[in-house]
Amino acid sequence: MSIKITEECINCGACEPECPNHAIYEGGKKWRMSDGTTLHDKKNPHFFMNDIIENPPKKKDIYFIVSEKCTECVGFYNKPQCVIICPVQCCVPDNDNIETKEELFIKKNLLHGIN
Ligand code: SF4
Ligand code: SF4
């Protein structure tokens, strides 16, 4: 399952640098699968041109999480770091993007080029 950011976000920015997958973006920012991952490397067997193309922001006014990149911190930490650091507890489970731990591991390996 991915984590999502609710409308209670106060735009403090504390969560963004904590994400091991670079899945958190400031409102209004464009995002790429390759940001902060090995998917920018054309030698990566999982590389696709779409990975380096900029996508439109998912939110304009508050920080947002790219569910395609969020692994709930699986593979790095045993707890979601954004949930821990958010001062207003607005990082919550995203029930629209439910994945098993195994699927999250696969996603993490795709993002970081480990098979
Ligand atoms: Fe990033 Fe982890 Fe938060 Fe997902 S749960 S957005 S991987 S810090
Ligand atoms: Fe928003 Fe919480 Fe992230 Fe601060 S830590 S930007 S309040 S989601």
Could you count the other beta carbons within 10 Å of the beta carbon of residue 109?
A: 14
Protein residues with CB under 6 Å of any ligand 2 atom: 5, 9-15, 63, 85-86, 88, 90-91
Token output for 88: 């207003």
Q: What is the pLDDT of residue 13?
A: 98
| Tens digit of each residue's pLDDT (9 = 90 or more) over 41-85 | 777 777 777 788 999 999 999 999 999 999 999 999 999 999 999
Cα 79 to averaged position of ligand 2 atoms, centre (Å): 16
What burial letters (b/e) apply to 85-106, b meaning 16+ CB within 10 Å? ebeeebbeebeeeebeeeebeb
> How is the chain split into domains, by residue range?
1-115
CATH class, 1-115 region:
alpha beta
| Tens digit of each residue's pLDDT (9 = 90 or more) over 3-51 | 999 999 999 999 999 999 999 999 999 999 999 998 877 777 777 777 8
Single pTM value for the model? 0.93
Distance, in Å, from the CA atom of 63 to the CA atom of 7, rounded to the nearest integer, reads 9
